[in-house]
Structure 1
């Protein structure tokens, strides 16, 4: 995966298809002799003492003991439990539709996010000629994911995207998910540590869900390899990551509420306030807060490790 050198700073972004990213990760793991794959194996629970209960593909179960159990198993994490991490799982009721369409250069629609009476709509063209889009799901159900119905739904709210949505076919992969938020009072409990959605699932409105997981992995790896004790490294991870991610979680939740469908009067007032806010200089501190860490610093961490 070739990543362009855009220098330091937070004024640039790179969009990568998840399938390509998964392929890159899989190849990296296969090239690492110290890592082994266990396909069809599930962790059903894990304790603060490092004992993890394992279920094999054939249904047999066993317990392994580890120096450290890293829970990177998503919103329905089996490593996480409410008592050990002070975890709260919140089902917001807000849905988003996502898809990847064969549409070079997004059919001429400028990339970005659009706030409409129908809710949020965003799109990002990718280098392979496809376009990733996401949209407020409203009251849609899986049975509503019919190509022409989606195009009609957005025809009046955002007419320029209709040609893009009309390229949806029966073979297009579409996802309709409810936003589930996970808030933890701590990311570390004994020999267990949570990263990614297992620790801090958030609304997708700031685009920092997966990015935050990558930052978690880089920082945790760096601290564990720094020469300090595991206890010190885990405590440092919690201090460094939890406050930063909590702020992003909160802002993403607020943004989700602001961009949700509203009546015409409320939407008009919201849009006026947004335009006034954008007249001033972009607050660099706010952008840095959302990104949490400078990507160049993270790359240097990865190279050192």
Structure 2
């Protein structure tokens, strides 16, 4: 089956969907509201499921080249003692790929390069859809409109179109934590590739990139909307006394390179990922907290699953029904697990609860961490035909 599609949203999930649909012979137009595609953003951890999805889309080799495997590290306390150790080599043996770190901008760029330039239209806001034409969806764009056999809604956690498709759904809610991210200006000598440090109501972590630089993030339990006049100074005040290399990561970051976003999620699962010939994907469908590092990988899974369904099913309707049946249970399960991981990890504040958690994590057998990752990362993509 071939056809035409409009993808609303030019992020990782939207571009990956466009790549997948073109691979199965569809005509695709991606509409992105941002007027400029700036290569900004932080870093992404991709587990084996994300890498496998990129391979199915034909960009796996490029992604591996741009990424850096994360073989060493683990979880620590603010004083530096280890709670768990990362064994990236064991993950690679089990899954065929380790966790990798890649800059958001690098992944976005390689997905863009897999598409003809005319596929992506920037500076275009989509506020409504018209499904009144049988078998078609009309997308109003300024004074004109596009018509397609399918519309993919990939416009993020605060999707306007999701609210129109599911007006009774409460929409995204504040997760209880805010995240600050920074990219070091230059390479920083690091003893490990990927670390998380759990303190009282806070997590500080880093991932390393192929160029030797690193991204750090700080997840903090806090009311929404809090901002700082000097964000980097606030990070030094909060985390500067934590173990090395945290102070060095902060010192290697320029003040204007720090991003700050409150974390919102779809705590109430959507009743469906489809509505007629409209399908939701990525954060628009299942926005989750970052505690498992699965957000991008789940969006990539969505893209491959949708393309495979459209390639093999006889009708758009049957393809979307298959997509919903395959993706909704899995992605919503991952979202629930991510929420629970946050509650048991960086969001804990009671000293006794933190001590019990730390003891339980330390005493857990080494294979428990591997099994926890395998639960979500061991995913085999469907064939695109």
Both structures adopt the same fold (TM-score exceeding 0.5): yes
Is the CA contact (8 Å cut-off) linking 1:121 and 1:135 kept in structure 2?
Answer: yes
Is the CA contact (8 Å cut-off) linking 2:177 and 2:263 kept in structure 1?
Answer: yes
Q: Normalized against structure 2, the TM-score is what?
A: 0.68
* Cα distance, 1:47 vs structure 2: 4.4
CA distance in 1, matches of 2:319, 2:189: 44
CA distance in 1, matches of 2:126, 2:106: 26
Match of 1:162 among 240, 247, 251: 247
Q: Does 1:244 align with 2:326?
A: no
Moved more, 216-225 or 70-79: 70-79
Distance 1:2 1:40, change over 3 A: closer
Equivalent position of 1:132 in the other structure: 215
CA distance in 2, matches of 1:55, 1:190: 20
Higher relative contact order (CA 8 A, sep 6+): 2
Correspondences of 1:271-286 after superposition (within 5 Å): 271-276=358-363, 278-279=364-365, 281-282=367-368, 286=372
Moved more, 78-87 or 190-199: 78-87
CA distance in 1, matches of 2:120, 2:244: 47
* Cα distance, 1:227 vs structure 2: 4.3
CA distance in 1, matches of 2:323, 2:302: 8
Pairwise CA RMSD: 2.8
Distance 1:97 1:261, change over 3 A: farther
Q: Does 1:233 align with 2:319?
A: yes
* Cα distance, 1:99 vs structure 2: 1.5
CA distance in 2, matches of 1:162, 1:283: 28
* Cα distance, 1:66 vs structure 2: 2.0
Q: Does 1:70 align with 2:70?
A: no
May I ask how many residue pairs the two structures share in their alignment? 290
* Cα distance, 1:149 vs structure 2: 3.1
Q: Normalized against structure 1, the TM-score is what?
A: 0.84
Is the CA contact (8 Å cut-off) linking 1:86 and 1:185 kept in structure 2?
Answer: no
Equivalent position of 1:42 in the other structure: 125
Match of 2:102 among 13, 16, 40: 16
Is the CA contact (8 Å cut-off) linking 1:102 and 1:130 kept in structure 2?
Answer: yes
Correspondences of 1:191-202 after superposition (within 5 Å): 191-202=277-288
CA distance in 2, matches of 1:54, 1:186: 24
* Cα distance, 1:83 vs structure 2: 5.4
Is the CA contact (8 Å cut-off) linking 1:103 and 1:129 kept in structure 2?
Answer: yes
CA distance in 2, matches of 1:83, 1:279: 46
CA distance in 1, matches of 2:353, 2:244: 21
- The C-alpha deviation readout for 1:50-83, integer Å capped at 9, x for no partner, is 5344343xxxx33433211100111122331365
* Cα distance, 1:240 vs structure 2: 0.6
Distance 1:87 1:111, change over 3 A: same
Distance 1:159 1:187, change over 3 A: same
* Cα distance, 1:285 vs structure 2: 5.4
Is the CA contact (8 Å cut-off) linking 2:181 and 2:259 kept in structure 1?
Answer: yes
CA distance in 1, matches of 2:166, 2:201: 40
CA distance in 2, matches of 1:216, 1:71: 12
* Cα distance, 1:27 vs structure 2: 1.3
* Cα distance, 1:218 vs structure 2: 0.8
Equivalent position of 1:147 in the other structure: 232
Q: SS in structure 2 opposite 1:76?
A: coil
Q: SS in structure 1 opposite 2:262?
A: strand
Structure 1: 5+ residue runs without aligned partners?
none
Q: SS in structure 2 opposite 1:225?
A: helix
CA distance in 2, matches of 1:275, 1:47: 55
Match of 2:206 among 101, 123, 128: 123
* Cα distance, 1:180 vs structure 2: 1.0
Match of 1:181 among 247, 256, 265: 265
